[in-house]
């Protein structure tokens, strides 16, 4: 199966991007093309990218899949995904946590999660870096501003970000380390957009600094979810930790979460490895210079690859069975972004490596 056989793509840029997604020992160019074609086939005509056809869409995973499309040169499809977000943003700057098959008239969860609402800033900056389209950035800027203001209204005095605002409007002030780490990454991307537009946002800078400090120095400010692998690697993936501290964190959790030859556990002590967490860990490993280990993790999860190019969400290794029986766009999206970073895709390396992102750091003095 070749890219041209799929009837997808956008000319030479797309073909070149697909070639860069080939990673020896992990993916061939044809396999990468198959995954991208399957992602594109899951996108709804209105631009929405649900978990899989007929299932729900959440804004975070929608953006993850859109970034993968950009990494593959499918810029029109990625822009359609961001236009979906722009059209369906709530008046308070948020998005609902779930929509049935990407239908804005059928929300499945009217809660508004801070992490979900922040993450479009990451994708929008990634799309701009991939395309250089200033007009797109101009159109999306009001959505970024509104979303950031919604999220920062949930920031607590200790810097951490409250989890969500419930459907009735009540703020949930408990904070999640994974979610807050992702929000800090999104704030840095939003600040990069503001800097590019020469529209300084000092309040965002202060908020990002306070949040980064809380992540690095005050674990007690977050709910204890330490049995989840995402709480282990996400401060590294999102850039709140770098250097020796990041490497020490990776080493501390390696034996607990990594199952050699199979991938990364989602949650302890369950005998369940998941493709999304494994690909994200690989991206975090790349970001701290551990590319060999990143490639090994990506190679290990190819047992989750399905014939259509998508990836099964997870595998229960004691029962030796795929579970759940679903192939999710966000799992494929994370896989594509990881191989894109390892292959040197400029937009992806800039966003996840931290190039051209304001530090968002505060002194770790207290």
Q: Tens digit of pLDDT for each residue in 47-61?
A: 999 999 999 999 999
Residue numbers in the chain where pLDDT is lower than 70: 1-13, 360-366
Into which CATH architecture does domain 3-353 fall?
Alpha/alpha barrel (1.50)
Query: For residue 239, what pLDDT is reported?
Result: 97
Beta bridge partners of 109: 98
Q: Write the DSSP symbol of residue 164.
A: E
Are 63 and 123 contacting, i.e. CB atoms less than 8 angstroms apart? yes
Helices 329-342 and 291-300 pack at an angle, to 10 degrees, of: 150
Query: For residue 6, what pLDDT is reported?
Result: 32
Query: For residue 366, what pLDDT is reported?
Result: 40
Query: For residue 15, what pLDDT is reported?
Result: 81
Are 249 and 194 contacting, i.e. CB atoms less than 8 angstroms apart? no
CA distance 288 to 183: 20
CA distance 197 to 142: 12
CA distance 146 to 130: 23
- Specify the length of the chain in residues: 366
Are 93 and 146 contacting, i.e. CB atoms less than 8 angstroms apart? yes
Whole-model pTM: value is 0.95
Beta bridge partners of 322: 315
């Amino acid at each position: 199966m070749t890219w041209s056989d799929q009837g997808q793509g956008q000319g030479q840029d797309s073909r070149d991007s697909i070639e860069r997604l080939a990673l020896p020992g992990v993916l061939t160019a044809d396999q990468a093309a198959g995954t991208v074609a399957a992602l594109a086939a899951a996108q709804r005509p209105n631009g929405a990218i649900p978990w899989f056809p007929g299932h729900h869409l959440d804004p975070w995973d929608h953006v993850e899949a859109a970034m993968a499309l950009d990494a593959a040169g499918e810029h029109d499809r990625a822009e359609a995904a961001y236009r979906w977000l722009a059209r369906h943003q709530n008046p308070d700057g948020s998005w609902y946590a779930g929509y049935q098959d990407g239908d804005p008239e059928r929300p499945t969860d009217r809660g508004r999660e801070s992490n979900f609402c922040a993450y479009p800033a990451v994708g929008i900056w990634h799309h701009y870096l991939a395309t250089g389209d200033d007009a797109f950035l101009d159109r999306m800027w009001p959505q970024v501003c509104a979303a950031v203001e919604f999220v920062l209204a949930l920031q607590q005095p200790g810097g951490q970000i409250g989890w969500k605002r419930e459907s009735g409007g009540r703020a949930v002030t408990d904070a999640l380390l994974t979610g807050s780490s992702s929000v800090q990454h999104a704030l840095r991307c939003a600040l990069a957009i503001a800097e590019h537009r020469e529209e300084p946002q000092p309040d965002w800078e202060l908020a990002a600094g306070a949040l980064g400090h809380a992540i690095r120095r005050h674990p007690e400010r977050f709910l204890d979810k330490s049995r989840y692998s995402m709480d282990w690697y996400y401060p590294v993936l999102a850039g709140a930790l770098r250097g020796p501290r990041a490497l020490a964190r990776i080493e501390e959790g390696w034996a607990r979460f990594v199952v050699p030859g199979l991938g990364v556990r989602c949650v302890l002590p369950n005998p369940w490895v998941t493709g999304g967490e494994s690909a994200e860990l690989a991206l975090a490993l790349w970001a701290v210079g551990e590319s060999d280990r990143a490639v090994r993790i990506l190679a290990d999860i190819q047992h989750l690859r399905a014939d259509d190019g998508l990836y099964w969400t997870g595998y229960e290794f004691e029962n030796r069975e795929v579970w759940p029986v679903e192939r999710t766009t966000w799992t494929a999206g994370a896989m594509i972004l990881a191989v894109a970073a390892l292959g040197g895709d400029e937009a992806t390396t800039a966003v996840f490596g931290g190039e051209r992102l304001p530090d968002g750091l505060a002194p770790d003095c207290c």
